[in-house]
């Protein structure tokens, strides 16, 4: 099996996936692509959350013609998602997209696919062969074997047309099938795998389903880029993806919140404090462990081990930084101190990075 370190690197705009590069986080907009303002606004929100690649649906000529304007207004690579009308792919390439995704189940005929592949080749734009169980052609069995066979058949077609700048994916709404199929696929091809459980649903159900699939596959060493598919705001997909990757030790971004579930010992409204702190620190990108604990049983221990933390008690809270007690405050004061400490730490980290960059530039 070709693991993450073994896959062929593929450059998508300014991001390289595969070949042991960090697992990239991607998402897909759910705006109408023709609505450039709404789409760019959503992509900007995704960028702020850490999204590194973004895919947009291209179902109409107008949506294809919007891609240039969208691309000029965003900073991350743009991927055109094509189904049925592959002629739109030529417009997408003309508009400068960084990758196209084709789905064998919605390719109208192989002649137009061949022309599109040759056009992508001429522009050196990567193609994802993305097989989805929901649109698997009837000629294939609706199981792991059929999903893999379909992917390999289309990969072979494209290779025979002389192009191998490819990414592959097999998605099913069943996490176990998704994992098994992608593991099998990784025993045949070295192309980077775009990993995700499709149609996973929304809310906690979707998060659990996606997490099960992603964790099992990533622990096996496969998956070069991930998308968590959730019904709803795609920004949540990015947040969940980083949480999964952080907990597997694959990426470090943002706050690792350590908080107790509370119990009969807790004498504060920890849930609302937790939500307040979580939302205040949503946009922090610096990796940091932050503890929010309900009482003195495990509170001081966890707060001491974290980069900073608060252990609450009745009408008071002990604030810790790097294992040391800063002081005992009212719960409100402690929350404010914690939030401002984290924000300041990120600010000074950024200033340090800028200072280092500037001095490197001067030295060069
Ligand atoms: S830290 Fe305290 S309040 Fe929180 S779960 Fe443990 S014993 Fe209960």
Specify the CATH number for the domain of residue 59: 3.20.20.20
For residue 260, report the distance from its CA to the centre of ligand 1, in Å: 6
pLDDT band at residue 357 using 50, 70 and 90 as cut-offs: low
Query: How many structural domains is the chain composed of?
Result: 2
- pLDDT tens column, 115-158: 999 999 999 999 999 999 999 999 999 999 999 999 999 999 99
Cβ of 49 below 6 Å from ligand 1: no
Same domain, 202 and 333: no
User: Among all chains, which residue has been given the structure tokens 């494209």?
Assistant: 158
> Which domain does 148 fall in, by range?
4-247
Q: Which residues contact 244 (CB under 8 A, 6 or more apart)?
A: 210, 211, 214, 215, 218, 226, 228
- Of 258, 259, 261, which is best to mutate to test ligand 1, by the most ligand atoms within 8 angstroms of its C-beta? 261
User: Among all chains, which residue has been given the structure tokens 């973004």?
Assistant: 54
Lowest mean pLDDT among 176-180, 196-200, 358-362: 358-362
- Of the chain, the percentage scoring pLDDT greater than 70 comes to 97
Cβ of 364 below 6 Å from ligand 1: no
Same domain, 259 and 236: no
Q: Annotate 13-77 with DSSP letters as a single string.
A: TTEEESTTPPPEEEEE--S-TT-HHHHHHHHHHHHHHT--EEEEE--SHHHHHHHHHHHHT-SS-
Same domain, 181 and 328: no
Cβ of 294 below 6 Å from ligand 1: yes
For residue 191, report the distance from its CA to the centre of ligand 1, in Å: 47
CA-based diameter of the chain, in Å?
Answer: 72
pLDDT band at residue 355 using 50, 70 and 90 as cut-offs: confident
Angstrom CA distances, 74 to 40, 43, 77, 269, stand at 7, 7, 8, 41
- pLDDT tens column, 90-111: 999 999 999 999 999 999 899 9
Cβ of 309 below 6 Å from ligand 1: no
Q: Is a pLDDT exceeding 70 seen at residue 214? A: yes
Residue of 30, 70, 66, 341 whose CA lies nearest to 202: 30
The reported pLDDT for the residue numbered 169 is 97
Same domain, 8 and 104: yes
Same domain, 232 and 86: yes
> 59, 35 in Cβ contact below 8 A?
no
Q: Is a pLDDT exceeding 90 seen at residue 73? A: yes
Cβ of 299 below 6 Å from ligand 1: yes
Same domain, 279 and 337: yes
Same domain, 166 and 293: no
Mean pLDDT score across all residues of the chain? 95
In terms of DSSP H, where are the helices of the chain?
Answer: 36-49, 61-72, 87-94, 110-123, 144-160, 175-186, 203-219, 234-247, 270-280, 299-305, 331-363
- Of 299, 303, 312, 313, which is best to mutate to test ligand 1, by the most ligand atoms within 8 angstroms of its C-beta? 299
CA-to-CA distance for 262 and 31, rounded, in angstroms? 39
Among 212, 247, 282, the domain boundary falls at: 247
Cβ of 259 below 6 Å from ligand 1: no
Same domain, 230 and 260: no
pTM of the model: 0.93
Same domain, 17 and 116: yes
The reported pLDDT for the residue numbered 319 is 96
Q: Which residues contact 334 (CB under 8 A, 6 or more apart)?
A: 310, 312, 317, 318, 319
For residue 267, report the distance from its CA to the centre of ligand 1, in Å: 10
Among 182, 214, 247, the domain boundary falls at: 247
The reported pLDDT for the residue numbered 108 is 87
For residue 271, report the distance from its CA to the centre of ligand 1, in Å: 12
Same domain, 114 and 140: yes
Same domain, 191 and 325: no
- Of the chain, the percentage scoring pLDDT greater than 90 comes to 93
The reported pLDDT for the residue numbered 360 is 61
We report the CATH number of the domain holding residue 329 as 3.30.413.10
Rounded (5°) CA angle 308-311-317 = 105
Angstrom CA distances, 310 to 32, 85, 101, 347, stand at 44, 56, 47, 21
Cβ of 297 below 6 Å from ligand 1: yes
CA-to-CA distance for 284 and 356, rounded, in angstroms? 21
Residues shown for the chain: 364
For residue 40, report the distance from its CA to the centre of ligand 1, in Å: 44
Same domain, 146 and 284: no
Q: Which two tokens stand for residue 94?
A: 């003309």
Among 224, 247, 270, the domain boundary falls at: 247
Which residue is closest in CA terms to ligand 1's atom 5? 262
Buried b (16+ CB within 10 A) or exposed e, 15-51: bbbbeebbbbbbbbbbbbbbbbeebbebbeebeebbb
């Amino acid at each position: 099996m070709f693991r993450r370190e073994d896959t062929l690197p593929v450059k998508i705009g300014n991001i390289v996936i595969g070949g042991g590069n960090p697992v990239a986080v991607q998402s897909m907009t759910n705006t109408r692509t023709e609505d450039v303002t709404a789409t760019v606004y959503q992509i900007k929100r995704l960028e702020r959350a850490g999204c590194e690649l973004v895919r947009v649906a291209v179902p109409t000529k107008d949506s294809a013609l919007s891609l240039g304007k969208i691309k000029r207004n965003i900073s991350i690579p743009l991927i055109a998602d094509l189904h049925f009308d592959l002629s739109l792919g030529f417009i997408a390439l003309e508009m400068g997209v960084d990758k196209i995704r084709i789905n064998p189940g919605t390719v109208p005929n192989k002649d137009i696919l061949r022309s599109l592949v040759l056009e992508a080749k001429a522009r050196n734009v990567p193609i994802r062969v993305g097989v989805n169980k929901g649109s698997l052609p009837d000629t294939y069995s609706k199981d792991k074997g059929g999903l893999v066979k379909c992917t390999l058949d289309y990969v072979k077609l494209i290779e025979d047309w002389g192009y191998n700048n490819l990414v592959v994916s097999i998605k099913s709404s069943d996490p176990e099938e998704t994992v098994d199929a992608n593991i099998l696929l990784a025993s045949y091809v070295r192309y980077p795998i775009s990993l995700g459980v499709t149609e996973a649903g929304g809310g906690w159900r979707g998060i659990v389903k996606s997490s099960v699939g992603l964790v099992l596959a990533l622990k096996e060493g496969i998956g070069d880029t991930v998308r968590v598919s959730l019904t709803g705001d795609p920004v949540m997909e990015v947040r969940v993806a980083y949480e999964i990757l952080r907990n597997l030790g694959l990426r470090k971004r943002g706050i690792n919140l350590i908080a107790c579930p509370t119990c009969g010992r807790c004498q504060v409204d920890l849930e609302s404090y937790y939500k307040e702190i979580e939302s205040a620190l949503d946009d922090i990108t610096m990796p940091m462990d932050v503890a929010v604990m309900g009482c003195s049983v495990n509170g001081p221990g966890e707060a001491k081990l974290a980069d900073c933390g608060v252990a609450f008690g009745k009408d008071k809270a002990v604030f810790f930084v790097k294992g040391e007690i800063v002081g005992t405050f009212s719960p409100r004061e402690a929350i404010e101190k914690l939030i401002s400490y984290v924000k300041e730490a990120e600010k000074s980290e950024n200033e340090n990075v800028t200072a280092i960059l500037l001095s490197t530039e001067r030295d060069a």
